[in-house]
Amino acid sequence: MNKHCNVMPPKRSGFTRLYFATIYSYRGIKAAFSSEAAVRQEVVAMAILLPIVFMLEVTNSERVLLLFSLFVVLITELLNTAVEKLSDHVSTDMHELIGKAKDIGSAAVFISLILVLVTWGIILM
- Cα–Cα distances in Å, from 114 out to 21, 95, 108? 31, 29, 10
Do 59 and 80 share a domain, yes or no?
yes
Do 83 and 119 share a domain, yes or no?
yes
| pTM of the predicted structure, to 2 decimals | 0.83
Q: What is the pLDDT of residues 42-95, one digit of tens each?
A: 999 999 999 999 999 999 999 999 999 999 999 999 999 999 999 988 888 888
* Domain count across the chain: 2
Read off the pLDDT band of 3 (50, 70, 90).
low
Residue 14 has pLDDT above 90, yes or no: no
Find the catalytic residue in 57, 62, 77, 96: 77
77 catalytic, yes or no?
A: yes
Going by the annotation, the residues of the binding site for a divalent metal cation are 36, 84
DSSP 76: H
Q: What is the pLDDT of residue 4?
A: 53
Are the C-beta atoms of 80 and 110 separated by less than 8 Å?
no
Residue 2 has pLDDT above 60, yes or no: no
Going by the annotation, the residues of the binding site for substrate are 17, 38-42, 63, 77, 106
Q: Based on the number of CB atoms within 10 Å of its own CB, is 69 exposed (0-12), middle (13-18) or buried (19 or more)? A: buried
Q: Which domain holds residue 22?
A: 1-35
Do 15 and 69 share a domain, yes or no?
no
